[in-house]
Amino acid sequence: MDFMRVASIVCGIFLAGCAVTNRYYLPTDPKLAHEGTVCGSVPWGSTRVPIGPDLSASVELYLRETSLGLKLQIALPKGTTVRFVEPEIGVASPKTGNQYGAKLDRFRLSVYGHNGQPGHREFFDANELLEGRGRNADLAGPNTQYLSRDLFVSGATFVVAPIDSLVLRFPAVEVNGVAFSSQSIPLGLVEKTGVMTCIQ
């Protein structure tokens, strides 16, 4: 067996082993849906939840083996505050009417090292006031403007079997002291496959 044949077989096995299928929920309203890829063409999707003028939260809801995982991100510009009135997020089945709630984990925020100082993380209880202070703003450049906002990240887990359609129940929040009511956003389950090309 010549070298080229061996190489093509090995390459074929490698590529076949890198196919990744993700199952996640997207809002039925395309204006609230955001999709992308990572590590080559591995798909992901999220729901944009408006929580005030020029401000939104990003919610990723995805399937695990025996549960649903949720990732919540809020990027706050300097001087903006957000507080969750009730730090619990929920999903509901429109077919059965069953509702499932989960407490949000503590929020974490990464502060990157610069000016000779090491990086660190800050943590906040889910009902604590979150404030944008521009912690990484001096690292923001033409291609990294996202660093001008402080990114708060939390999560939750729902012990529920996969359901084709859900309603996300986003809790009430206060933005700069102004109350915004809870929101219900219909979601549908999607399944997409991509190829992972990242080198680990």
Question: What is the per-residue pLDDT for 35?
Answer: 87
Residues in CB range of 114: below 8 A, 6 or more apart: 136, 138, 139
d(CA 153, CA 110): 9
- Which pLDDT score, from 0 to 100, does residue 174 have? 97
CA gyration radius, the chain: 20
Q: Could you tell me the pTM of the whole model?
A: 0.83
Short-list 44, 168, 150, 151, CA closest to 94:
168
Residues in the chain predicted with pLDDT less than 50, given as ranges, are 1, 3-4, 6-16
Residue 38 pLDDT:
72
The per-residue pLDDT for range 35-60, each reduced to its tens digit, is: 877 776 778 899 999 998 889 999 99
- Distance of alpha carbon 89 from alpha carbon 70, whole angstroms: 9
pLDDT at 65: 81
Helices then strands (H, E): number in the chain?
1, 16
